[in-house]
């Protein structure tokens, strides 16, 4: 295994970026309603994301940045990423969330990944426009993982995908090793193995030979 791809919200982080952003402009309840409708398959993911982004129109960029600063990695996530980087394993985050929130969380922990595939909330006149951009609005994570594997010259059988939700299913289904991180009930049957902490995930990667030695 030479490429490990993580979901972000619900996996590397238990923060929900859209909720943090919604709190900044008083639309958290509306966002929760849209999210619930999407989870119930009343609207598609892309439409739900566009609706949530539209609610943020006019939010000052400084307020958005303040929300991103509250995005946090789970305990032991940074040390796991550092261990993978030190072992020359290609690391990636594939998320429908927003790039600045991911970058902010990584920067505060002093860690980094090789690739971030995510969405962005465009800014004009120092305010969010209410739009959303990125390859994971309509695109799916299997395509993102395949593209990364191709770019690295890696077969999909040599990849690990770690995720928890329905939008992670595409990459979990094509990865060589599908790891559910405390997965939703509909996701768990599609996982090769389930973990509930970053420490447990590191132990699994040692067992699978992705990392060497014992967890620190």
Active site members: 7, 9
Q: Please name every residue paired with 110 in a beta bridge, in sequence order, or none if there are none.
A: none
What's the burial of 175, exposed, middle or buried (CB within 10 Å: 0-12/13-18/19+)? Answer: buried
Return d(Cα 89, Cα 110) in angstroms, integer: 18
Contact between residue 211 and residue 83 where contact means Cβ atoms under 8 Å apart: yes
Helices 17-24, 61-68: crossing angle, 10 deg rounding: 140
Return d(Cα 115, Cα 209) in angstroms, integer: 22
Nearest to 177 by CA among 191, 197, 166: 191
- Two tokens, residue 200: 């447990």
């Amino acid at each position: 295994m030479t490429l490990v791809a993580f979901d972000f919200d619900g996996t590397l982080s238990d923060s929900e970026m859209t909720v943090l952003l919604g709190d900044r402009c008083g639309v958290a309840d509306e966002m929760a309603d849209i999210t619930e409708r999407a989870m119930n398959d009343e609207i598609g993911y892309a439409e739900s994301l566009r609706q949530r982004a539209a609610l943020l129109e006019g939010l000052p960029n400084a307020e958005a940045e303040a929300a991103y600063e509250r995005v946090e990695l789970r305990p032991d996530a940074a040390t796991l990423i550092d261990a993978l980087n030190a072992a020359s394993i290609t690391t990636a985050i594939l998320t429908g969330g927003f790039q600045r929130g991911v970058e902010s969380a990584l920067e505060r922990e002093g860690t980094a990944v090789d690739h971030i595939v995510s969405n962005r909330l465009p800014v004009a006149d120092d305010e969010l426009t209410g739009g959303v951009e990125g390859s994971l609005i309509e695109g799916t994570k299997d395509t993102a993982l395949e593209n990364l594997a191709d770019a690295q010259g890696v077969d999909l059988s040599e990849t690990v995908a770690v995720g928890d939700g329905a939008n992670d299913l595409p990459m979990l289904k094509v990865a060589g090793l599908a790891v559910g991180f405390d997965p939703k009930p509909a996701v768990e049957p599609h996982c090769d193995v389930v973990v509930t902490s970053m420490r447990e995930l590191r132990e699994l990667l040692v067992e699978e030979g992705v990392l060497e030695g014992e967890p620190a």
